[in-house]
Amino acid sequence: MQNDLNEITRQSELNSATLFQHQAAMLELLKILDEICKKLNIPYMLFAGSMLGAVRHKGFIPWDDDVDVVMLRKDYEYFLKTASEEIDKERYFIQAEHSEHWPMYFSKLRMNNTTCLEKYHPKDSLIHQGVYIDIFPCDNASDISFVRKIQFLCSKIVIANSLEKRGYDTNSICKKLLLLFSKIAPVNLLNKIAKSCNKNSTKYVHTFFGGSSKYNKSIYPREWFKNIIYADFENNKFPVSASFDEFLTLLYGDYMTLPKIEDRYCKKHAILVDLEHSYEYYSHFRDEMKFEVLTRSIR
């Protein structure tokens, strides 16, 4: 067993993709998603760090290993319902929210026959762990401030429940208690409250199930999602909010100023990326992974 692990570790070091190669694979996924959305007339836009990359760098943030897109709930659900018929299933996989082998409440577009291992030990050995981009839903936020905070609290418990099912490592006692509580909580009811699915005319929307884990950075005017423009991104053009300045200021403050060098890799997602071998190749290695720094966010 140890010899096998040593060999797989050695091979992982040889096969590990550079950040540039990883970004190229994620760009391929983004272009596939863009093609599908254009064909099916599904609105979406770059989100969070990907929107920031488009505005500040005209592409990836140079140290970023992640792509985020966001859709309003009705568009998101239509995408999940129809997009699987539009992709090359040999090459790509849509990992839909709360589906078999994926308990999370957001989705991913994955690349088959690749590896992107992150800082957790999956409880389900069949979780797809290929290179991916994130697809986040954007839900209706109540016009009443107190109710919005209830929605946020409900989403936290739902997220904790899905993380407990997926596998989540933390040294935080508070987070451990939340994970335990989520196992007995009425998750389906809390999920409905957080989504507030029956109201589509609210002034605000939220991304409590994706993006920032902070309340005040997860609520936006609905108008920010209605008007889009196309921004340069790695010699392509992808949609961003026409209100990108207000959006990015809310999320990052003085977003055009680069962070300190020591802060640029603090949220690195992947610990092993291999574009030549499937994640299944690393099954033993994955189970034995050790993390010096655990994931910061409950997400």
Mean per-residue pLDDT for 14-30? 87
Q: What is the mean pLDDT of residues 114-128?
A: 86
Pair of tokens at residue 166: 């997926």
Phi and psi at 94, nearest 5°, equal: -90, 115
pLDDT band at 211 (very low <50, low <70, confident <90, very high): low
Nearest Cα to Cα of residue 81 among 70, 90, 73: 73
Task: Indicate whether 256 pLDDT > 50.
Answer: yes
Extended beta strands in 59-147, E state: 68-72, 92-95, 107-111, 115-118, 132-141
pLDDT digits (tens, 9 = 90+) for 144-196: 999 999 999 999 999 888 888 887 777 778 887 877 877 888 988 998 999 87
- Residue 7 amino acid letter: E
Residue 5: band (very low, low, confident or very high) from pLDDT cuts 50, 70, 90: very low
Evaluate whether 42 touches 94 at the Cβ level (below 8 Å).
no
The candidate with the shortest Cα–Cα distance to 134, out of 199, 215, 47, 202, is: 47
pLDDT-above-70 percentage for the chain: 88
- 145 within 8 A of 103, measured Cβ to Cβ: no
pTM, entire model = 0.88
